[in-house]
């Protein structure tokens, strides 16, 4: 985290994601080599990911799929809806009646 902000930085997210991945892999009793063989992601990529958090997005999706977490990415970059704007639209319609 930036010492001047409470918001996380990309490097924080990289490290946290790698740590969560490692914990889940261990919880499922999979070695890095087993994960590499089953996912099609190279062993070197998995080791680098767990150490640094760096991995290609495609490889990350393959790992997530194998670990049953692919659906976690489905809402990534989905547009956010402004609920206040939606409420205003409905309230404007009811005023005109």
Break the chain into its structural domains and give their ranges: 1-71
Total-model pTM: 0.74
Average pLDDT, the chain: 88
Q: Name the pLDDT band for 81 (thresholds 50, 70, 90).
A: confident
- Return the pLDDT at 77: 85
Calculate Rg over the CA atoms of the chain.
20
Just give the CATH number of 1-71: 1.10.260.40
In angstroms, the Cα distances linking 16 to 19, 26, 34, 36, 64 are: 5, 15, 22, 20, 15
Euclidean distance between CA atoms 44 and 65, whole angstroms: 19
Q: Using one digit for the tens of pLDDT, what is the confidence trace for 34-74?
A: 999 999 999 999 999 999 999 999 999 999 999 999 999 99
Q: What percent of the chain has pLDDT over 90?
A: 67
């Amino acid at each position: 985290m930036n010492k001047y902000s409470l918001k996380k930085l990309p490097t924080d997210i990289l490290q946290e994601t790698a740590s969560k991945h490692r914990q889940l892999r261990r919880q499922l009793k999979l070695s890095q080599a087993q994960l590499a063989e089953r996912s099609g992601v190279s062993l070197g990529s998995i080791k680098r990911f767990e150490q640094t958090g760096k991995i290609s997005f495609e490889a990350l999706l393959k790992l997530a799929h194998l670990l049953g977490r692919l659906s976690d990415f489905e809402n990534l970059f989905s547009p956010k809806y402004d609920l206040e704007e939606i409420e205003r639209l409905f309230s404007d319609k009811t005023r005109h009646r």
